[in-house]
Structure 1
Amino acid sequence: MKFDLKADVLPHFLAISSFYLIVVLYFSPIVFDGKMMFQSDILQWEGSAKELLDYRESTGEEALWTNRMFGGMPAYLIHLAPKGDITNTLIKVLTLGLPHPISALFFGMVSMYLLLLCFKVRSVIALLGAWAFSFNTFNFLSLEAGHNAKIWAVCIVPLLLAGVHLAFTNKKLLGVVLTGLAVLLQLKFNHLQITYYTLLLVIVYGIGQLVIAYKQQKLPAFAKVTGMLLLAAVIGVMGHAARLSSVLEYGKYSIRGERNLPAVNQNDTGLDKDYAFNWSNGKLETFTLLIPNYFGGASQDAIPKNSASEKALRANGVDNAQVNQFINGAPTYWGDQPFTGGPMYGGAVMIFLFVLGIIFAPPLYRNVFLSMTLLTLMLSWGKNLAWFNYTVFDYFPGYNKFRAVSMALGMTLFVIPLFGAIGLENVLSKSGEKGTKKSFLIGTGITLGLIVLGIIFASWAGYQSSAPNSGYPDWLMAALKSDRKSMLVSDAMRSGIFIVISAVLIGLVLYNKLKINYAVIGIGALLLIDLWGVNSRYLDKDSFSDNPSEQHFAATPADNKISADKDYFRVLNIQNPFNDARTSYRFNSIGGYHGAKMSRYNDLIDRILGTEINNFVKKAQEGNFDYEGIQTLNMLNTKYLMAGRAENAVFLNPEANGPAWFPESIEGTKTNEEEIEALAKVNTKLTATYNAQDNENQSISTGKGDISLSSYSPDALSYKVSVEKSGLAVFSEIYYPKGWKAFIDGQETPILRVNYLLRGLMLPEGEHQVEMRFEPTAYYRWELLSVIVQYLVVLSLLFAVFKNLIIKQDSTI
């Protein structure tokens, strides 16, 4: 087969080279100096996963359970690298060895470039769209926060839509295989909320294809392609069947599943609406797509010297140090969200091109991509469009498992550069047609008009959120609003300048004064300057350091004191127990950091632990360390309480129940509500609570004896027991019915749920060896098949590429 090097190879080589070069240049401290970003969520993950990583390093095996967080939870919710999984290697190859997580941005550019080529966009314009997609502030703010899985999931969306589009446009084999590959890769990162949004976009695209098929009387062909794509998606899912089946199984028992306790004005399953919609984008906040500082940027941001706020502070005699502190972290954000790291900015140039797409693109694309844009914006508005989003939350299958709905803007920022590049392609391809110049001027006027409209709306809103900053005097609030206005107007003018220059470049092409490629390169340069400048406000060279985790997890005197104890126990970090995983780095922790805690554990936090901890702290401050008053902490074997990093901030709890014990009495209950109320009142060392109905009405009795832990690994525990009187033994381990198995001298025995969320066993008289092993059936059932499917997907991809690019078969496959 003959290639025209200049036409068939060189443009794509230059495009991919530019993607690689841009990522390397922006993140040069990572690539060349080995530095890392301070990503708060990744540090939380590192603390959560430390036991699992250490176990793998020491044994070469994967642990499926960890005791480091919230008393214990499945490991596949935190970290899992199954043997034989080739997706890591595949991604390393596809991203040319770029380090994680910045490799996602490179992959996103390549996949968007491929998608735009599938839509017949010339390579130089596809290049521009690819840059805009990966370099929007959504991705960079997510990087800064450590939301690496989210970025990867978004950056795979163009590859998936490319596969779907190819399948519907006479490249069935390649399209189907790419779809299967994209599903496989996206699900690897286990960000099911982004996958859900992706599915919604594919459905919108599919409706567009259905309309075409209906008009052309090709519904059977549509059904055939749809069936093939569904099969490809199923195959992609099967590549992670072991993990996904286990995660879905766990969902029922997590805070995103069914409720154990009745709650007023809350749905029976899924997340609470207030929690799910807490991060809802304001309708006016949508203007940040066009004007980055429309709502003041980040929650706390530096304001310029001699700002209105600084002048007001100095005029009112505020201390110089306090003035500097305020202006270096002023509350500039005035939107609806609790806080934000910065705006969701898509680039003024790309918004301009998007408007041109509305005017110039074919009706099918216009309808499909406008529908995608409107849908994702409406989803991002959350509680600010309650009639729509509460309906979706209540009736769309699985949607009530997700939170932070402003995340849908990541999908908006996928559609905007896609349709913007298509818009530019159509403008330039129609440069000689009648009416093009007039329509182009109308589009330019509309975009600039949106900037003016945004300024007017902001003035009406008064530059103040619906929840005003408390504690600020009127004179400071007035100055702060003046600064917010200045930030908005300054960025509005900035966006206007970029739009005008871009419009001039396109206008020169339409009037035959400039070649298309030169104009597009100029627009691309403007786009990069624009996005690079805004991104550097939030992720610059100061964001990189040698090794953030070394400093974050450096052993403190408190850590060293607890580490000297080699017994088996848990630790409570009183300072921030349930939103920090630093304690989990070294110790089995009562707390942790995770968005899908076990439901029963969350009930315990809400109904007992929170109050118990607060009461203990209050008494301790008065000099009374009431260890008998923390009975639920005692039953969780909380041997140490930590109130700081100094050695004297560690408190030994002499009342911790230990790994296991025989209660002297059993209090029967009939409902979860009864049981948790009873648990709050009993001495957990002496009395166990028991719900017979939840334990299949198994009869139990009290026993007597001694139990000691003889060996430990994250998902396997062994005990030596000496039983004087047969009866119930309570173990300070979290009860989870889907995987934990118990064996007495090698014979399996049922695990009972006692004390609302602990494990219990009926032990016979005599000397015995008791083992508990975590062996989730759902995981092991699909483990081998998952690996086989991954290899089949890769082999299918190689075959499809060979057939389409090497053999150059006829376009109708």
Structure 2
Amino acid sequence: MQIKLNKQVLPHLLGILSFYLLVVLYFSPLVFDGKMIFQNDILQWEGSAKELIDFREETGEEGLWTNSMFGGMPGHLVNMEYPGDISKAIIAVLTLGLPHPISGLFMGMVAMYLLLLSFRVRPEISIMGSWAFAFNTFHMLSLEAGHNAKIWAICLIPLLLAGINLAFNGRKIWGFTLTALALMLQIRYNHLQITYYTLIIVLVYAIGQFIYYKNNHELKSFAKIAALLIVAGILAVGANTSRLIGTVNYGKYSIRGEKTLSTSENNDSGLSKDYAFSWSQGKLESLTLLVPNFSGGASQEALDTDSHTAKALQKNGYSGAELNNFLQRIPTYWGDQPFTGGPIYGSAIMIFLFVIGILYAPARFRNIFIIITLLSLMLAWGKNLAWFNYTLFDYLPGYNKFRAVSMALGVTLFSIPVLGCIGLEYLLREKSTQQQTKSLLISLGIVGGFTLLLIILAGAFGLKGAVDANLPPWMADALRADRKSLLQKDALRSLGFIIASGAMIFLIIKNQLKSQYAILGIAILVLVDVWTVNKRYLNEESFRKSPSESYFAATAADQKIMQDQAYFRVLNLQNTFQEARTSYRFHSIGGYHGAKMRRYQDLIENILQPEIGAFVEAAQAGDFNYNNLQVINMLNTKYIMAGTTANAVFENPQANGPAWMAEQIVAVSSNDEEIQKLTTINTQKEATVNTSEFDAKEGSGKIKLTSYKPNQLVYQAQITKAGLGVFSEVYYPNGWTATINGVEADILRVNYLLRGLMLPEGNAEIIFSFEPDGYKGSSIIAASCQYFIILLLVGSLLLPFTKFAHYGRK
């Protein structure tokens, strides 16, 4: 078959080129100037991963475990490379060498483009939808925060659905291949919450297709396609066997697993409702999809000197630099979330097109994407729609493992442009000019009219933020006036874009302008719309030269501690359990991670925080009583850091050291009893043991650490009385083994979360080694599946190009 380059190839090449150029242009400081986005979460990850990365570079081995934070945790939660894994190389090829993390946005545009083509949307509309999807504010705000895995996982949703849709529309080879590839890559990024939402999308789509096939008496065909796609899914899971085994095994020991204390404010397993739904979007706040500043923008916005707040401040004595500094951090946000980096917005034009989609898209797909949109909004409302979301939390399998439910808005910003672009395609296919005009005016009236109402009724929403209660009345009143102004200005802005895009469509209907030119005009409007809103939050100021270099630069406090080459842990009193900068150089009892061990979280809440609070209070009065830090001591916390100067470092003379013998056993029968006993015992001499699980007896002697690696610790012991040795290492049953003089020994859990061993009298060499279950064998399975998927992709590319590309023009 002869390929017509101008019609069948060139549009797609231009689309891919536009995706690449837009990413390069928006992120030019990163691409051309060598700057980086200042991403707090990524800096924290860099701190936590430093030990593992250094170990890999020095030895060529994987550390598998790290002591860099929270006393110790599995390495796959932080940084691990798996033998034979080629997924990183696959991503580099598919994204044409663009740097991480912005390569995810390029992949998102390509994925959305393929999805829209699979729905037979013409290339120019598909390009517009791809721009809108990738450049929504949710992605940009997530980039600034450092949620790179989340962005990648969301940007792979359209690729996955493209594969499924192609399979259900006769392109089984491409459908199987893209489904396996997309799911393989999404699982690779290990963002299980987004993958969970993706499964919901697939389920809704599958139900829609089931109804369609049932009505057409083709359930046998449906079953065959569904079976084929299930095989693709199994292949994708197989390609991530190593990652998934580690995640599943760790899950039951993490804060998302079963609770250990009866006093925990949790379900039997999973997160507490308060924690899971702390980031719930308000119902009204969802109007930021239409008007970006509906809820005041970010938690803190800059206001100019003509604002109501500026005038109120001037009237109350503020002026000069003091006034200007104050105006840079005004709490304009009045939504329901604790704080936010900005609004969730993907172009008012897409909302307008979404309404056209409701009117014009084929019912087979219209209902699917309406349901996906509504369901994602309902999920994002969280506690603000408690009857629905609390029911899901209690009964939907696995749903109680996730938090920050406003994340579901990433799905909303996926489904809106899909239905919008399908709607525009089918509107333009309509044969009746009169019907086209009528549908256009109805859509314009609904969206434009509603936006106009927001301008008129802006003051009726109250505009009261949580911070207002802490402000003097004169300032709160001025602030509400500015919130009203922000809402009205952005609503007027959105109305302008809606009318302009509607006019372009009208010119197409009336044959006053070629459809390609008009659609290009609408696409440019969409791009200008999202681009300018994004620049409010992710702009030139967001890029810095080597942010990690300055962030991790050694302070005088760091340098003082670094002089000690022994094995110990550090307590940083500044934001202890929400920072991993300390982990960059030291083993820390704090850290930054969303999946801490359940027992360690119990320790934080019940003992560590009270101990730290009491110590700080006493130290401020001049009383440095290290004996009261019994649990901090048992974690071998030798240094306490209260600041960045050398004199802000305090050496703890009572730290227990790497290991010691328990001179007395305190028998307990439950986790509740054990954690309570920890507040009363002398951990240097006594050890709690749950006798319903372990047997132990007291002993005496000395234990010395002689060799340390992340995945192996070697000790020499001189035991004068056989008994329990206690090690200042976190107990984790999945992968740690111990030998005493070469003979494997059972590891006990003592002091609620430390490791213990029954040691024989005499001299002993003790070796703790870590290798997670299935680490080596699963890597072979994963690599084999990855190579098979790549062979499928290469084989699919050998099919005539028109088998896919021309599909979008039928």
- Correspondence for 2:791: 795
Give the distance between the partners of 1:643 and 1:475, measured in 2 at CA: 38
1:446 maps onto 2:446 in alignment: yes
- Correspondence for 1:129: 129
Change (3 A) 1:66 1:434: same
1:784 maps onto 2:780 in alignment: yes
Equivalent pair of 1:743/1:770 in contact (CA under 8 Å): yes
Deviations 1:728-747 (A, max 9, x none): 00000000011110011111
Structure 1 segment 397-796 matched on structure 2, within 5 A: 397-430=397-430, 432-455=432-455, 458-465=458-465, 467-695=466-694, 699-796=695-792
SS in 2 for 1:743: strand
Give the distance between the partners of 1:780 and 1:272, measured in 2 at CA: 35
Equivalent pair of 2:84/2:779 in contact (CA under 8 Å): no
- Correspondence for 2:369: 369
1:326 Cα offset (Å)? 2.1
- Correspondence for 1:100: 100
Change (3 A) 1:5 1:254: same
Give the distance between the partners of 1:798 and 1:806, measured in 2 at CA: 16
Equivalent pair of 1:174/1:804 in contact (CA under 8 Å): no
Worse-matched range after superposition: 404-413 or 508-517: 508-517
Equivalent pair of 1:69/1:584 in contact (CA under 8 Å): yes
Equivalent pair of 2:8/2:806 in contact (CA under 8 Å): no
Give, as a single letter, the amino acid of the residue that structure 2 aligns with 1:660.
A
1:398 Cα offset (Å)? 0.6
Deviations 1:313-367 (A, max 9, x none): 1112235433222211100000000000000001011111111111111112111
Worse-matched range after superposition: 522-531 or 794-803: 794-803
SS in 2 for 1:246: helix
Give the distance between the partners of 2:31 and 2:330, measured in 1 at CA: 33
Deviations 1:711-756 (A, max 9, x none): 1111110001111111100000000011110011111100000000
Give the distance between the partners of 1:597 and 1:781, measured in 2 at CA: 26
SS in 2 for 1:459: helix
Equivalent pair of 2:662/2:684 in contact (CA under 8 Å): yes
Deviations 1:100-122 (A, max 9, x none): 00011111001100111110000
1:295 maps onto 2:295 in alignment: yes
Equivalent pair of 1:431/1:509 in contact (CA under 8 Å): no
Equivalent pair of 2:573/2:640 in contact (CA under 8 Å): yes
Give the distance between the partners of 2:107 and 2:577, measured in 1 at CA: 35
Deviations 1:134-166 (A, max 9, x none): 000000000010000000000000100000001
SS in 2 for 1:721: strand
SS in 2 for 1:693: coil
1:89 Cα offset (Å)? 0.5
SS in 1 for 2:763: strand
Deviations 1:679-715 (A, max 9, x none): 11101001000002233xxx32111111111111111
Give the distance between the partners of 1:753 and 1:457, measured in 2 at CA: 63
Give the distance between the partners of 2:289 and 2:438, measured in 1 at CA: 26
Give the distance between the partners of 1:59 and 1:290, measured in 2 at CA: 53
SS in 2 for 1:531: helix
1:459 Cα offset (Å)? 2.7
Deviations 1:572-614 (A, max 9, x none): 0011110000000000000000001000000001111100001
Equivalent pair of 1:287/1:454 in contact (CA under 8 Å): no
Give the distance between the partners of 1:720 and 1:180, measured in 2 at CA: 50
- Correspondence for 1:309: 309
- Correspondence for 1:153: 153
- Correspondence for 1:383: 383
TM-score (norm 2): 0.98
Deviations 1:636-655 (A, max 9, x none): 00000000000000000000
Worse-matched range after superposition: 469-478 or 21-30: 469-478
Deviations 1:477-511 (A, max 9, x none): 11000000000000000000011111111101111
1:455 Cα offset (Å)? 4.5
Change (3 A) 1:486 1:431: farther
Give the distance between the partners of 1:771 and 1:692, measured in 2 at CA: 25
Give, as a single letter, the amino acid of the residue that structure 2 aligns with 1:519.
A
How many residues are matched? 807
Give the distance between the partners of 1:429 and 1:708, measured in 2 at CA: 79
Give the distance between the partners of 1:395 and 1:453, measured in 2 at CA: 40
TM-score (norm 1): 0.98
Equivalent pair of 1:348/1:499 in contact (CA under 8 Å): yes
Change (3 A) 1:681 1:808: closer
Worse-matched range after superposition: 502-511 or 2-11: 2-11
SS in 2 for 1:470: helix
SS in 2 for 1:221: helix
Give the distance between the partners of 1:663 and 1:37, measured in 2 at CA: 50
Give the distance between the partners of 1:804 and 1:255, measured in 2 at CA: 50
Equivalent pair of 1:742/1:750 in contact (CA under 8 Å): yes
SS in 2 for 1:435: helix
1:468 Cα offset (Å)? 4.5
Tell me the percent identity: 57
CA RMSD of aligned residues (A): 1.5
Change (3 A) 1:548 1:409: same
- Correspondence for 1:169: 169
Change (3 A) 1:270 1:453: farther
Change (3 A) 1:74 1:264: closer
Structure 1 segment 223-372 matched on structure 2, within 5 A: 223-263=223-263, 266-372=266-372
SS in 1 for 2:687: strand
1:9 Cα offset (Å)? 1.1
SS in 2 for 1:694: coil
- Correspondence for 2:37: 37
Worse-matched range after superposition: 775-784 or 43-52: 775-784
1:427 Cα offset (Å)? 1.4
Give the distance between the partners of 2:754 and 2:234, measured in 1 at CA: 37
Change (3 A) 1:457 1:607: farther
Give the distance between the partners of 1:203 and 1:308, measured in 2 at CA: 49
Equivalent pair of 2:740/2:767 in contact (CA under 8 Å): yes
Give the distance between the partners of 2:40 and 2:699, measured in 1 at CA: 47
Equivalent pair of 1:393/1:399 in contact (CA under 8 Å): yes
Structure 1 segment 31-110 matched on structure 2, within 5 A: 31-110=31-110
Task: Could you tell me which runs of 5 or more consecutive residues in structure 1 were left unpaired when the two chains were aligned.
Answer: none
Change (3 A) 1:704 1:586: same
Give the distance between the partners of 1:473 and 1:301, measured in 2 at CA: 19
Give the distance between the partners of 2:324 and 2:529, measured in 1 at CA: 29
Give the distance between the partners of 1:642 and 1:703, measured in 2 at CA: 34
SS in 2 for 1:82: coil
Give, as a single letter, the amino acid of the residue that structure 2 aligns with 1:247.
T
Give, as a single letter, the amino acid of the residue that structure 2 aligns with 1:746.
G
1:434 Cα offset (Å)? 4.1
1:809 Cα offset (Å)? 14
SS in 2 for 1:666: strand
1:801 Cα offset (Å)? 2.6
SS in 2 for 1:567: coil
1:221 Cα offset (Å)? 1.2
SS in 1 for 2:639: strand
- Correspondence for 2:217: 217
Give, as a single letter, the amino acid of the residue that structure 2 aligns with 1:668.
A
Equivalent pair of 1:295/1:334 in contact (CA under 8 Å): yes
Equivalent pair of 2:259/2:266 in contact (CA under 8 Å): no
- Correspondence for 1:200: 200
1:419 Cα offset (Å)? 1.1
Give the distance between the partners of 2:634 and 2:768, measured in 1 at CA: 18
SS in 1 for 2:523: helix
1:250 Cα offset (Å)? 0.6
Give, as a single letter, the amino acid of the residue that structure 1 aligns with 2:785.
V
Give the distance between the partners of 2:673 and 2:774, measured in 1 at CA: 32
SS in 1 for 2:720: strand
1:456 Cα offset (Å)? 6.1
1:246 Cα offset (Å)? 1.2
1:804 Cα offset (Å)? 5.0
SS in 1 for 2:705: strand
